[in-house]
Amino acid sequence: YEAHPENAWQRLKMRVRTPKALAVMMEVAAWREREAQTSNIPRRRVLKDEAIYDIAEHSPTSEKELAALRSLHQGFARSARGRAVLEAVQAGLKRDLDTLPPIRKGKPLSPDETAVMDLLRVLLKAAAGRHGVAPKLIATVDDLEKIARDSEADVPALKGWRRELFGADALAVKRGELGLVVKDGQVTVLPARGLDDTAAPPPARASGRQKKRSRRRRKGEQGEEAGTRQAGEKRAGVPRPA
């Protein structure tokens, strides 16, 4: 390893949204780099990229808060590395935010990409509610933005358990294979071909023969009304016009 720990955060593909999260990410990434160099093992064996992102976004300050992150394996929070991560988080929280580099921002989404992202937000909320998991643990806003831009985006939401809960459906929605409907007040995912079954059928168009029968029926009804009216006038002695 020849990488400088203080620059390790720059290799991370994920973005954070706040200076505080960036400060924590920088410290945790630096710790991971030093740990990997000392142990001579790959960085991801020390701590996965998505775990660094989760830690940066949530900034846990206790063993209990660290253990609540789904990106970390069970028991990590109680380990020596878990304690070292908490120390790195504290170091990040103590940094002067004014000295941090600007947060990297990408180009704005196109109107079509924005529409896709809105659908993904609804899908994410439904998936989180269905599985009892906080939406942010499944996918971040950054994940949704990248998926809206690129179906092959390298984001945690398209990997592992997150893909099973959300990512696979998100890609299917982008491909037009799945659609979202509201049934009994709940957002439901249906195959695109099944969406027609939930819609009201269009009104049937009358054939030419049916139209002719309808016209004859209306004429007959009008004739009956005229005959009834004339009979009533005759009984009442109403003079007929000359």
Ordered by start, the domain boundaries in the chain are: 5-99, 111-195
| Structure confidence by residue, pLDDT tens digits, 189-209 | 778 765 555 444 444 555 556
- Alpha-carbon span 26 to 5, nearest angstrom: 9
DSSP letter at 69 equals: -
| Structure confidence by residue, pLDDT tens digits, 12-46 | 877 787 899 999 999 999 999 999 999 999 999 99
Question: Does 5-99 carry CATH code 1.10.150.80?
Answer: yes
- Residue 131 in contact with residue 165, Cβ under 8 Å? yes
Judge if pTM exceeds 0.85. no
Which H, E and C letters describe 141-202, residue by residue? HHHHHHHHHCCCCCCHHHCHHHHHHHHHHHHHHHHCCEEEEEECCEEEEEEHHHHHHHCCCC
- Alpha-carbon span 112 to 226, nearest angstrom: 62
Residue 106: per-residue pLDDT: 62
How far separated are the first and last CA of the chain, in Å rounded? 117
CATH number of 111-195: 1.10.150
**111-195: same fold as 5-99?**
yes
CA angle 186, 121, 56 (to 5 degrees): 125
Q: Which two tokens stand for residue 13?
A: 């593909």
| Structure confidence by residue, pLDDT tens digits, 156-186 | 999 999 999 999 999 999 999 988 888 887 8
Count CB atoms within 10 A of the CB of residue 139. Answer: 26
- Alpha-carbon span 74 to 62, nearest angstrom: 15
Q: Which residue has the tokens 């593909």?
A: 13
